[in-house]
Amino acid sequence: MQNKYLFGGFIIVIFLGFMAYLFTQSNIKYENDFEKVKVQDKIVKATGSWVKEKSYQIDSKNRIFSFYMTDKQGHEMRVVYNGTMPNNFESAKSVVVTGEYKDGCFRASNILTKCPSKYEGQNVQNMKTSNL
């Protein structure tokens, strides 16, 4: 009977240790300074805005989408994404890319675009009268 309790306790300890390990591995940090992103050796989420003056490149044969983005300090970084361009990329107010910096560019595994709100620029009075 004691063997059952020892075995059950052992399984619980292994499970908790495994969960703690997974929790530490999934801790992805947000960075809004590209100079810090470039020296990280792990996956990060970088926030910035698309540099519209440099446009973007689409390689539909290899399914590669690349563009330049800038942070609030003015640092630029080239982003390469294996996939297609997000639908609302051109109207995005800011961009969040997940990945890591390798070989002189940011290798993105995910792109999230933040579009401006349709209510942006309206004051409260305009919103009240339009809802009546």
Q: Could you tell me which residue, 20 or 123, shows the higher pLDDT?
A: 20
Mean pLDDT over 2-6 rounds to 84
pLDDT digits (tens, 9 = 90+) for 40-65: 888 889 999 999 898 899 998 999 99
Q: Cα(111)–Cα(99) distance, rounded to whole angstroms?
A: 9
Q: What is the separation, in whole angstroms, between the first and last Cα of the chain?
A: 72
pLDDT at 129 over 90: no
Q: Which fold has domain 25-114?
A: OB fold (Dihydrolipoamide Acetyltransferase, E2P) (2.40.50)
pLDDT at 33: 84
pLDDT given for residue 91 in this prediction: 85
For residue range 64-110, list pLDDT tens digits in order. Answer: 999 999 999 999 999 999 988 888 888 888 899 999 999 889 999 99
What confidence tens digit (pLDDT) does each residue in 9-37 have? Answer: 899 999 998 888 877 766 677 777 888 88
Which pLDDT score, from 0 to 100, does residue 41 have?
Answer: 80
